[in-house]
Amino acid sequence: MHSPISDEHLRFPVGRLQLPTAPLTAAERAPYLQQLADFPARLAAAAQRVGDERLQLPYRPGGWTGRQVIHHLADTHPQLYSRFRLALTEDNPTVRPFNEAAWAELPDVATTPIAASLTLLDGLHRRWVGLLESITGAQWQRTFYHPRYDTTMTLDQALVQYAWHGQHHLGHLALLANPTS
């Protein structure tokens, strides 16, 4: 018999985010860059494993449906890519937060096929990873300010956070694909 899955595991199936406190080396950055590069294919495979019917279900009580998760990623990742571009071209820019929960409830989330979001993410991640692979060591220490969290973040930290973000939501889809684990 399976033991019940904890709420903590349902909310954070890959664990909570842990940001680096020191600059990363190129070797330390490499796995995060690879996660971003691999993410669109892994997301498409996860969506296929879950299947259309289960994508209509929430991954946890009170959580988003699998469909909302996929569209959320297509809403969020362009914002994250833009933050890198802003930090590379402006001095400590303030990024604009958005209401992710409200965006997940907009009507296009229910009506747009997930294939549209998967296609968007594939092209976006190609651009994003191409940009990240061209950043010099010093540029990784450029920053942006996030007013919702009242924090300044280096691009190294943002890389770790945004790679984690993708893995976090892949974990949610894995819960839908295999709800008893």
pLDDT in tens, 123-145: 999 999 999 999 999 999 999 99
Which residue has better confidence, 75 or 8?
A: 75
Rg of the Cα trace of the chain?
17
Q: How confident is the model at residue 57 (pLDDT cuts 50, 70, 90)?
A: very high
Distance (Å, rounded) from C-alpha 164 to C-alpha 57?
23
Rounded to whole angstroms, the Cα distance separating 78 from 46 reads: 20
Confidence check: pLDDT of 3 > 70: no
- Summarize the confidence of residues 142-149 as an average pLDDT: 97
Tokens of 19: 């940001």
The yes-or-no verdict on residue 94 having pLDDT over 80 is yes
DSSP assignment of 35-93 equals HHHHHHHHHHHHHHHH-TTGGGSBSSTTS-BHHHHHHHHHHHHHHHHHHHHHHHHSSSP
pLDDT band, very low/low/confident/very high, at 33 (cuts 50, 70, 90): very high
Question: What amino acid occupies position 34?
Answer: Q
Other C-beta atoms closer than 10 Å to the C-beta of 35 total 20
How high does pLDDT run on average in the chain? 94
CATH superfamily of 44-177: dinb family like domain (1.20.120.450)
Q: What per-residue confidence (pLDDT) applies to 181?
A: 55
Which residues sit opposite 94 in a β-bridge?
Answer: 145
For 19, other C-beta atoms within 10 Å of its C-beta total 13
Pairing of strands 151-154, 143-146: antiparallel
Residue 173: CB atoms within 10 Å: 24
Which of 5-9, 23-27, 163-167 is predicted least confidently?
5-9
Q: What is the pLDDT of residue 178?
A: 85
pLDDT of residue 1: 42
Q: What is the DSSP letter of 106?
A: S
Angle between the N-to-C axes of helices 155-177 and 26-50, in degrees from 0 to 180, rounded to the nearest 10: 30
pLDDT of residue 9: 85
